[in-house]
Amino acid sequence: MLYLSTRGHPDRKHFCDILLEGLAPDGGLYLPEHYPQIDDAALTRLRKAYQSQGYAELAFQILSLYIDDIPAADLKALCAKTYTAEVFGTGEIVPLRHLEDGLWLEALSNGPTLAFKDIAMQLLGNLFEYELKRRGEELNILGATSGDTGSAAEYAMRGKEGVRVFMTSPHGRMSAFQQAQMFSLQDENIHNIAIEGVFDDCQDIVKAVSNDLNFKRQYKIGTVNSINWARLLAQVVYYFAGYIQATETNDQKVSFTVPSGNFGNICAGHVARCMGLPIARLVVATNENDVLDEFFRTGVYRVRGSADTHETSSPSMDISKASNFERFIFDLLGRNGQRTKALFSAALQTYGRFDLSADPLFADAAAKYGFESGRSTHADRLATIKDTYHRFGVTIDTHTADGVKVAREHRGDPAVPMIVLETALPIKFAETIQEALGHAPERPARFAGIEALPKRVQVMPADVERVKAYIERHCQ
C-alpha cells in the first residue's frame, strides 16, 4: 500500500515514512492510493476475529491492509501491547451501551486520559517507539494543547525510548483536572511548558519553532496532531467494532453520529464506509462552532476568524477550521489533486472560503457518502445531559451530549441502529455537569485526589527563544 498527497504531488510513500511526518511536501494530507475493500466473507472474518480474539486482533487485521513495511508478527505484537483491558478498562475496549430504542453509545473514553484520543494515541506511542528504534533515531514532539490532545500525547509517549514530549499549554487556563492529569506526570521524557498567554500564543510558538528549519532538523522536532494518518487509521478500527457489536449479520446497516471538531474522528468513519463497512449515514455533530454543519447544509466552507470562534462548554470542538476536512473533499472531488489544491491553498488563502453549492458533486456528500449534519448549543447540552441522566441514569460529557442531541434529530429508519461515539468522560468537564445536574460527575477511582499530586511544569513567557533554549537544554 502506497500513500499519496491530496494536492497531487507525484511522490508515493510507504506507511512508516509518513508515520513520522506531518504534511506532504506540497502541503497536502496523506491518504492511501485506494481503500482496501471488505466483502461479505472478509467482514465475517473480522466479526469472528473481534468476537473470539478481541479488539487487538481486529485492529491487527485492519491495520495489515494499510501497512506493508512492518513485519506481521511485529504489528500483531504492537496491537496486542496497545489494546489491553488493563489500559482501556474493558475486554471489548470500546463497549456499546444501549440508551433508548435504536440509539446506542459507543464508549471510547476509558483509556488513560478519559477521551477517545487515547485509542489512536496509545497505538501511535508504540508505533513511534518501534520505528525510531528500527531507524536508530530520536524524535522531540512539540505541541500546543488546551486539554485533550496534549494529555493523550503525554500518556502515550511517557517512558517511550527515543521520544521526548514538549507540550505547551496556556498557563492557568485549563481545568484543574486537566492540569493535574498532565502536570502530575513525573516521567523524564515529558516536559510541560505553561505559557503566559492564550492557546493561540502556544500555537504560534509551535509554528515559529517548526518554521526554523535548521532548529527543526538539528533537534528532530516532530508533531502528533490530528492530521497524522496513523491516528486516523487507528480510529477506523472502532467503527468496525461498533458495527460488529450492534449487528448479527452483515446485511444489517448502522449509522454513526460523531461529535466533531477537526474532522479526524468522522473522517475515520468515512474511510470505514469507503472500505465497504455497511454504514447508512455518518452524521456530523458540531457545537456553536458550526463550520462543518454549515458546509453540509449549504456547500459553503467558510473558515472562521478568531473573533468568530466561540469558547464553548464542549471546548475540544471549538475550531475555526477543520484540519482533516481536506481528506474528505479530495474524495468528494473524485480524488482530483489539482482541484483540491486550488480550493485549499488558493481559495481558502485568498477568500477564507470556497463554495461547492452549485457543483453536482456536492449532492454526493449525502447521496454517495452518507453525510448529514446538525448543531448543538450550550442550552442543548445542558438539556441533553439532564434528560439522559434522568431517563437512563447515564451521565454523558458535554461533547457526547452534542452528539446525542444531533443523533436524535437524525434517527431516520428505525431498523438502523444509530451509534453515538462517546468522546470523553464527564469528569473532564465537571463544571458543566454540575450546572446541568446540580451535582459533580463520578470520578474514576484511579483519579482520586490527583489535584494534590506534585506538579512538574515550567512556566514561561510567550517567547519563542525561551522555548527553544528550554528544548536545547533538555535534549542533551
Ligand X SMILES: *Cc1c(COP(=O)(O)O)cnc(C)c1O
* Per CB under 6 A, 110 contacts ligand X: no
Rg of the chain on CA atoms, in Å: 21
Phi, psi for 467 (deg, rounded to 5): -65, -40
Question: Which residue, 189 or 265, is less far from ligand X as judged by CB?
Answer: 265
Coil vs helix vs strand at 14:
coil
Question: Which residue, 153 or 165, is less far from ligand X as judged by CB?
Answer: 153
Tell me, by CB under 6 A, how many residues bind ligand X: 16
* Per CB under 6 A, 403 contacts ligand X: no
Q: Which stretch binds ligand X (CB under 6 A): 4-12, 100-108, 137-145, 261-269?
A: 261-269
DSSP 8-state secondary structure symbol assigned to residue 459: E
* Per CB under 6 A, 395 contacts ligand X: no
* Per CB under 6 A, 47 contacts ligand X: no
* Per CB under 6 A, 155 contacts ligand X: no
CA dihedral 215, 136, 123, 159 (to 10 degrees): -80
Q: Distance from first CA to last CA of the chain, Å, rounded?
A: 37
Q: Which stretch binds ligand X (CB under 6 A): 4-12, 211-219, 258-266, 383-391?
A: 258-266
Q: Which stretch binds ligand X (CB under 6 A): 171-179, 213-221, 253-261, 301-309?
A: 253-261
Q: Contacts with ligand X in 197-226 (CB under 6 A)?
A: 226
* Per CB under 6 A, 289 contacts ligand X: no
Contact pick of 49, 115, 119, 206 for ligand X (by CB under 6 A): 115
Question: Which residue, 179 or 189, is less far from ligand X as judged by CB?
Answer: 179
Please tell me the distance from the alpha carbon of residue 239 to that of residue 305, in angstroms, as a whole number.
Answer: 33
Please tell me the distance from the alpha carbon of residue 337 to that of residue 384, in angstroms, as a whole number.
Answer: 41
85 Cβ neighbours under 8 A, 6+ residues apart: 91, 93
* Residue closest to 157 by CA, chosen among 57, 60, 224: 224
Q: Is 117 a catalytic residue?
A: yes
Q: Which of 117, 160, 321, 341 is labelled catalytic?
A: 117
- 387, with CB counted inside 10 A (0-12, 13-18, 19+), is middle
How many Cβ atoms sit within 10 Å of the Cβ of residue 8? Answer: 17
* Per CB under 6 A, 264 contacts ligand X: yes
Please tell me the distance from the alpha carbon of residue 239 to that of residue 74, in angstroms, as a whole number.
Answer: 24
Please tell me the distance from the alpha carbon of residue 458 to that of residue 455, in angstroms, as a whole number.
Answer: 10
* Per CB under 6 A, 260 contacts ligand X: yes
Question: Which residue, 16 or 401, is less far from ligand X as judged by CB?
Answer: 401
Phi, psi for 118 (deg, rounded to 5): -60, -35
Instruction: Give the nearest distance from C-beta 339 to ligand X in angstroms.
Output: 24
Instruction: Give the nearest distance from C-beta 179 to ligand X in angstroms.
Output: 16
Position of cell 455533530? Answer: 285
Contact pick of 111, 259, 374, 426 for ligand X (by CB under 6 A): 259
* Per CB under 6 A, 28 contacts ligand X: no
Active site residues: 117
Q: Which residues here bind ligand X, judged by CB under 6 A?
A: 115, 117, 148, 226, 259-265, 316-317, 399, 423-424
